[in-house]
Amino acid sequence: MKELWKARQALVERALEAELAKTDILDPILRESMSYSLMAGGKRLRPILLMAAADAVGADGTKFLPVAAALEMIHTYSLIHDDLPAMDDDDYRRGKKTNHMVYGDGIAILAGDALLTLAFSVILRQKNVPAEALLRVVDEISRAAGAEGMVGGQVLDLRAEGVRITMDELRRMHMGKTGALFHAALRSGAILAGATEKQLAALTAYADHFGLAFQITDDILDVIGTAEDIGKPVGSDEKNHKSTYVTLTSLAEAQELARRTVEEATDALAVFGAEADFLRELVAYLVNRKQ
Amino acid sequence: MKELWKARQALVERALEAELAKTDILDPILRESMSYSLMAGGKRLRPILLMAAADAVGADGTKFLPVAAALEMIHTYSLIHDDLPAMDDDDYRRGKKTNHMVYGDGIAILAGDALLTLAFSVILRQKNVPAEALLRVVDEISRAAGAEGMVGGQVLDLRAEGVRITMDELRRMHMGKTGALFHAALRSGAILAGATEKQLAALTAYADHFGLAFQITDDILDVIGTAEDIGKPVGSDEKNHKSTYVTLTSLAEAQELARRTVEEATDALAVFGAEADFLRELVAYLVNRKQ
């Protein structure tokens, strides 16, 4: 699983570079700023999920690299904007200065805007897919990225600062902030690969459990991880009085919830054979990650 | 012409409200902030241009209100972000407080992000158009809005602050910042209405002249307009050492260039009959506007 992940990560890196190079960006500093954050490494989880969903349906996931790359552009734009002083005010990400620390707030906002917009152009560069399927993918991704999903979740997060929220509110916030794009990644992969309704439903269920497991693990790592492993200060959630799966329950309960959620994610894949092994191993691996 | 414009403006207002209402926005403050700027009036020029281009081709422009509304969402997002302290730092627009003055920078950034993203969902709500045409429209609009167009132009603008630029650089900046979206509006209207290549080329040429005439007039109004008419302080370009069509030439030369550009815009429409009268009258009207 890790080898395939690495190989595909390399494909994603190349696709991102190629898509940027193909784009006639009017200003060199804008290009540099977009590239600075886009090529800063990272797990490339959303593209990997999209390709894995297509694999599960029996297609070759690497055929859909343009749409996969577009998801990473949307993820990167959200990180640039989230890090701004007007939002989370973070100076470092993955051990590197954040975009606005290097280019200033104005260029950072515009680099984010440009990456979000470019994502939609890049989806349209996808070849060998029926027009109806591509339109459906644009719809999935735009709804997941916007006020119904990621942006909406970020607003809920901003507004929850210093406020104790309920478990339901926490879940709703994360379903928007991170869950929606995982959801769109898996569903888009399925749609591009021509999934049946049953397969699409299974991957959608997996996506929801996957997103939850991923977030609980994030919250756990903030407590038990090391700053070196995760590339940012640990214990920041407690310091910032942030509601998390750990602070609203306990470390042990959060770990138990993560374990159960991985099981549910795996159960959701029962309709698939070995083609979905990557997704089965991925979710198990991610809850045991150190970063 | 003005009556048709007003009638269609009213349709756009209703379409914008309806599209917002249809959207499951996760947080009420986000909805309020998006609506605050989206429903703040304005000429609704981009939707009007899209519909008029479809009319010119012999279709009924009002059939394409979803795509028209999407353009206005993109325009509104760009105004919200441009007004931010990190960019132009404007406190008022059209006589109303700017979005960040009411909701704070964080929510304003996110309201802009959400409007940009929602635009792509709203394009997909367009009915009765072949999938291929709709994909082409997504492509036109995303390229016009992003690093190749509007965002790129805004970066050029930010970087030109206090610097004397050449006429060519000025033109390139405006072609990105405002021209690209006019371009996409007219081309999208034509594509949705099933224009021939010849008709599309004519409307594209019109779009380029229209954008230039519009910008020159903006620069002229900054000198000869009244603050009350244009809703913001006049003379701000000179005060801010901004390069404009007036400061790089003279008021008289800018007025002459505007006049010639209107002629060229009108000439571009020679392939059309009376169906394009609205576009002919519109460009003439806009260079004589007071606001």
Q: Cβ of B117 and A145 within 8 Å?
A: yes
Alpha helices in B39-98 (DSSP H): 45-56, 65-83
Residue B238's pLDDT is 73
Residue A169's pLDDT is 95
Q: Cβ of B81 and A120 within 8 Å?
A: no
Helix-helix angle A180-192:A65-83, to 10 degrees: 170
Q: Which of B148, B26, B161, B12 is nearest to B72 (CA)?
A: B12
**Test the B interface: residue of A22, A27, A150, A158 with most B CBs within 10 Å:** A27
Q: Which of A191, A241, A181, A168 is nearest to A211 (CA)?
A: A181
Searching chain B, which residue's CA lies closest to the CA of residue A26?
Answer: B152
Mean pLDDT of B110-121: 98
Percent above pLDDT 70 for chain A: 97
pLDDT tens string A147-193: 999 999 999 999 998 888 999 999 999 999 999 999 999 999 999 99
Q: Which of B259, B87, B261, B251 is nearest to B171 (CA)?
A: B261
Residue A154's pLDDT is 96
Reported as a pLDDT band with limits 50, 70 and 90, residue B241 is confident
**HEC secondary structure over A79-140:** HHHHHCCCCCCCCEECCEECHHHHHCHHHHHHHHHHHHHHHHHHHCCCCCCCHHHHHHHHHH
B70 inside 8 A of chain A by CB: no
Q: Is a pLDDT exceeding 80 seen at residue B229?
A: no
A151 inside 8 A of chain B by CB: yes
A109 inside 8 A of chain B by CB: yes
Reported as a pLDDT band with limits 50, 70 and 90, residue A125 is very high
A142 inside 8 A of chain B by CB: yes
Reported as a pLDDT band with limits 50, 70 and 90, residue B137 is very high
Is residue A227 within 8 A of residue A186, CB to CB? The reply is: no
Residue A242's pLDDT is 83
B112 inside 8 A of chain A by CB: yes
Searching chain B, which residue's CA lies closest to the CA of residue A122?
Answer: B139
Chain A residue numbers with beta carbons less than 8 Å from the beta carbon of B29 are 155, 159
Q: Which of A62, A55, A60 is nearest to A275 (CA)?
A: A55
Q: Is a pLDDT exceeding 90 seen at residue B274?
A: yes
Structure tokens at A108: 């950072």
In DSSP terms, which residues pair with B97 in a beta bridge? B92
**Test the A interface: residue of B79, B116, B155 with most A CBs within 10 Å:** B155
Q: Is a pLDDT exceeding 90 seen at residue A239?
A: no
Reported as a pLDDT band with limits 50, 70 and 90, residue A43 is very high
Structure tokens at A226: 């090391």
Calculate how close chain B gets to A169, using CA atoms only, in Å: 11
Per DSSP, B97 falls in state E
Mean pLDDT, chain B, as a whole number? 94
| Residue A161 backbone dihedrals phi, psi, to 5 degrees | -60, 125
Reported as a pLDDT band with limits 50, 70 and 90, residue B227 is low
Chain B residue numbers with beta carbons less than 8 Å from the beta carbon of A143 are 121
| d(C-alpha A1, C-alpha A21), whole Å | 30
In DSSP terms, which residues pair with A93 in a beta bridge? A96
Is residue A75 within 8 A of residue A144, CB to CB? The reply is: no
Mean pLDDT, chain A, as a whole number? 94
Q: Is a pLDDT exceeding 70 seen at residue B199?
A: yes
Is residue A165 within 8 A of residue A174, CB to CB? The reply is: no
Chain A residue numbers with beta carbons less than 8 Å from the beta carbon of B110 are 81, 87, 151, 154-155, 158
Q: Give the nearest partner residue to B146 out of A114, A135, A138, using CB atoms.
A: A114
Residue A249's pLDDT is 93
Reported as a pLDDT band with limits 50, 70 and 90, residue A228 is low
User: In sequence order, which residues have a C-beta less than 8 Å from that of residue A209 and are 6 or more positions away?
Assistant: A261, A262, A264, A265, A268, A283
User: In sequence order, which residues have a C-beta less than 8 Å from that of residue B225 and are 6 or more positions away?
Assistant: B234, B290, B291
Q: DSSP string covering B174-232, please? A: HIIIIIHHHHHHHHHHHHHTT--HHHHHHHHHHHHHHHHHHHHHHHHHHHHS-HHHHSS
Q: Is a pLDDT exceeding 70 seen at residue A73?
A: yes
Reported as a pLDDT band with limits 50, 70 and 90, residue A81 is very high
Q: Cβ of B87 and A106 within 8 Å?
A: yes
Q: Cβ of B155 and A104 within 8 Å?
A: no
Residue B80's pLDDT is 98
Q: Is a pLDDT exceeding 90 seen at residue B149?
A: yes
| d(C-alpha A290, C-alpha B25), whole Å | 34
Q: Cβ of A87 and B109 within 8 Å?
A: yes
Q: Is a pLDDT exceeding 80 seen at residue A235?
A: no
Chain B residue numbers with beta carbons less than 8 Å from the beta carbon of A107 are 155, 158
Mean pLDDT of A140-150: 98
Q: Which tops the pLDDT comparison, A216 or A290? A: A216
| d(C-alpha A193, C-alpha B236), whole Å | 55
Mean pLDDT of B151-174: 93
Is residue A57 within 8 A of residue A287, CB to CB? The reply is: no
Q: Is a pLDDT exceeding 70 seen at residue B230?
A: no
Mean pLDDT of B184-208: 98
Searching chain B, which residue's CA lies closest to the CA of residue A160?
Answer: B27
Reported as a pLDDT band with limits 50, 70 and 90, residue B289 is confident
| Residue B41 backbone dihedrals phi, psi, to 5 degrees | 85, -150
B165 inside 8 A of chain A by CB: no
Q: Cβ of B152 and A25 within 8 Å?
A: yes
B168 inside 8 A of chain A by CB: no
Mean pLDDT of A206-230: 88
Q: Is a pLDDT exceeding 90 seen at residue B161?
A: no
Q: Is a pLDDT exceeding 90 seen at residue A30?
A: yes
A18 C-beta neighbours (distance < 10 Å), count: 15
**ipTM reported for the complex, 2 dp:** 0.95
Residue B83's pLDDT is 97
Q: Cβ of B113 and A153 within 8 Å?
A: no
Is residue B128 within 8 A of residue B165, CB to CB? The reply is: no
Q: Give the nearest partner residue to A132 out of B106, B131, B146, using CB atoms.
A: B131
Is residue A30 within 8 A of residue A24, CB to CB? The reply is: no
A135 inside 8 A of chain B by CB: yes
All domains of chain B in start order, with CATH:
2-287 (1.10.600.10)
Per DSSP, B93 falls in state E
Q: Is a pLDDT exceeding 90 seen at residue B142?
A: yes
Q: Is a pLDDT exceeding 70 seen at residue A233?
A: no
A60 inside 8 A of chain B by CB: no
Residue A227's pLDDT is 63
| d(C-alpha A128, C-alpha A26), whole Å | 30
Reported as a pLDDT band with limits 50, 70 and 90, residue A229 is low
Q: Is a pLDDT exceeding 90 seen at residue B162?
A: no
Chain B residue numbers with beta carbons less than 8 Å from the beta carbon of A34 are 147
Q: Cβ of B156 and A81 within 8 Å?
A: no
Kindly list the distances between the CA atom of residue A114 and the CA atoms of A67, A96, B119, B126, in Å, as whole numbers in the listed order.
16, 21, 15, 24
Q: Is a pLDDT exceeding 80 seen at residue B130?
A: yes
Residue B218's pLDDT is 92
Is residue A130 within 8 A of residue B182, CB to CB? The reply is: no
